[in-house]
A and B are shown apart, each in its own frame.
Chain A
Amino acid sequence: MKITKKEVEYVAGLARLGVSQDEKEKFAGELSAVLEFVDKLNQVKTDKIEPTAQVTGLENVVREDKGRVKREREREKLLNAAPETKDGYVKVKAIL
């Protein structure tokens, strides 16, 4: 599978990743090499095989649907990690 520069741009957009012109060239080559490598899987017949998403065998692990009130100190630490806050909220740029 050969990846074009255009596809790199498209995928980078989906991943919200800024890429320079140089990076587009570089990723096109490198991603093509990795995809060529993983194409080996086409040799395996998997028609009747179930996919494995997890290996624990655990199912429907649930807890009570109840939040926990954060202590003031916890709240402070989480807010301190945010780049911008206002009145105890995380500040985000307008989206509309």
Chain B
Amino acid sequence: MNLNQLTIKEAHQGLLKKEFSSVELTEAVLGQIKRRNQEINAYLVLTEEMALTQAKKVDKMIANNEEIGLLAGIPAAIKDNIMIDGVQCTAASKILENYIAPYDATVIKKLKKQGAVFVGKTNLDEFAMGSSTENSAFGPTKNPRDLSRVPGGSSGGSAAAVADDQCIYALGSDTGGSIRQPASFCGVAGLKPTYGSVSRYGLIAFASSLDQIGPLAKTTEDCQIIFEAINGRDEMDATSFNFGNQVSAGNSVSNLKIGIPKEYFVAGIDSAVEEAVRGAISQYEKMGFEIVEISLPHTEYALPVYYIIMPAEASSNLARYDGIKYGLSEIDKDLLGGYLKTRQKGFGDEVKRRIMLGTYVLSAGYYDAYYLKAQKVRTLIKNDFLKAFEKVDVLITPTAPTPAFKIGQKIADPVSMYLSDIYTISANLAGLPAISIPIKSNSPLPIGMQIIGKQFGENDIFKIARAYENLGTVPATGTVPK
């Protein structure tokens, strides 16, 4: 086993026992990136110098027998819409091609305090808008499990980097499934935390009532370690909570009841996915968990609600790209001409489409029919979950309706691309935590199972996910058959 294939837990143990140094671990990761990145395109930029400086610092602490945290000296990849002071932050857009982040995102600040090592910034769909990473202005990322297929998106670079051992763990962001769906496509674990449990300060804003930063890693345990390091109230994000104050000790794992929403197993689901998820559910039954079929009657409206609220918020957030404060700046005869030209040249197709859609649904005469209507249906979707959680503690569903699709297969048809987020969007609309973990299947491609929890129910979903992982039916993730 090579060092870059280790989990956080294993790497931490190795560092403590002085079996290897953080510099050696970091070099193993950098070596894998250099061998593979040309083909996979998971990284937009490497921060080798910073990584080695950070690694040396941790090695010194270890040599001095100072106490180190679980993430100290462990190489991480950061999605290129999360700011690291002094490093490029492009959001995979031409409009931010030369933008250097002037400060650290709160999650980065927290990880730096823990002694984290940042090896680079990962590819994404432009401004996190997409489900395949094909919308990146800097070329698509390929799925390391099958190079003809997409890694999912928008955190496709982060998921591919974890799956291909080009980092030990990664951070992504999830607005409608952008951590969980790529985790499912690449065969890794990915957590979207409860809305507000992780600060969004320093995350390039997309749809602010839905965006949440979260971890992608090789195991649930690793996701939990990262989540515990990055959560918490932040005065720079007024929507953030002190997670520790909100969470109860939780039930013991054997008392947790699992709900299966019947609306998630209907037409459109790939038979291999359905079979795999049903197989996992029967494993839980065998372990003695109580399984209850429940109903989320407004499920079919989640996607239309999302495709009104998300572009509306995005169109407002992206108004800031005006060619004046930062980013691409095209000169024209007057101020208006400069705006039009800068934004036409700087934004890609999908981003333009969503700005247009968002502007339309918010425009005079259409606000009530679209935006207000969608906000009302959002209430109904949220209430469906509240009702379900009176009966059960967690919900189990597929993460995506299909395994990874071919590059180019859906790019020309926006609506069919949007359907690949059909199972993940509801958790964002309701602000709930959800994890995707790889499960056993007959498909040669990875398939993910989603576990959705109550608001601040992260500990419950970790317990349920680990119960499955402990069965050992899925080969250790993050190791690509070579």
Residues in chain A within 8 A of chain B (CB atoms): 3, 7-8, 11-12, 14-20, 23, 27, 30-31, 33-35, 37-44, 46, 49-56, 58, 61, 63, 74, 77-78, 80-84, 90, 92-95
Note all chain B residues with C-beta closer than 8 A to A95: 335
Given the known interface contacts A12-B356, A18-B343, the answer about A38 and B379 at a Cβ–Cβ threshold of 8 Å is no
Does more than half of chain B's interface fall in helix, strand or loop, or is it mixed? helix
A52 touches B378 (CB 8 A): yes
Q: Which stretch, B262-270, B366-374, B400-408, touches the partner chain A? A: B366-374
Instruction: List the 8 closest pairs (A to B, CB-CB), nearest first.
Output: A55-B431, A18-B344, A51-B375, A83-B329, A18-B340, A77-B102, A81-B326, A46-B376
* Contact in complex: A51, B340 (CB < 8 Å): no
Interface centre among A14, A18, A23, by most B CB within 10 Å? Answer: A18
Kindly provide the distance from the CB of B238 to the nearest chain A CB, expressed in whole angstroms: 4
B residues sitting closer than 8 Å to A (CB atoms) are 99-100, 102-103, 195-196, 209, 235, 238-239, 241, 298, 300-301, 303-305, 307-308, 315, 319, 322-327, 329, 334-336, 338-341, 343-345, 347, 352-353, 355-357, 359-360, 363, 370, 372-380, 382, 414-415, 418, 429-431, 455
How far apart are A54's CB and chain B's nearest CB, in angstroms? Answer: 5
Which residues of chain A have C-beta atoms less than 8 A from B373's C-beta? 41-42, 46
Please, how many angstroms separate the alpha-carbon atoms of A73 and B377 in the complex? Answer: 47
Q: Which of A15, A34, A39, A83 contacts B415 (CB 8 A)?
A: A34
Residue in B301, B363, B370 whose beta carbon sits within 8 Å of that of A14 in the complex? B363
Contacts of B298 in A (CB 8 A): 44
- Residues of B within 8 Å of A17, CB to CB, are 340, 343-344, 347, 352, 355-356
| Nearest A residue (CB) for B195 | A55
Beta-carbon nearest neighbor of B431 in chain A:
A55
Q: When chains A and B are docked, how far (Å) is the Cα of A37 from the Cα of B302?
A: 12
Query: Shortest beta-carbon distance, A70 to chain B, in Å?
Result: 10
Are A54 and B301 closer than 8 Å at their CB atoms?
Answer: no
Q: Which residues of B have CB within 8 Å of A16? A: 319, 322, 336, 339-340, 343
B352 A54 Cβ-Cβ under 8 A:
no
CB pair B353–A31 under 8 Å, yes or no, is yes
Q: Which residue of A lies closest to B336 (CB)?
A: A16
| Minimum distance in angstroms from B44 CB to a CB of chain A | 18
Residue of A with least CB distance to B239: A56
Chain A residue at minimum C-beta to C-beta distance from B325:
A82
Known: A16-B343, A18-B343. A46 touches B431 (CB 8 A): no
Q: What separation, in Å, do the CA atoms of A95 and B378 have in the docked complex?
A: 41
Bound Cα distance from A5 to B220, whole angstroms: 49
Task: Provide the bound-state CA to CA distance between A63 and B99, in Å.
Answer: 30
Given contacts A18-B340, A41-B373, A44-B301, contact A8 B196 (CB under 8 A): no
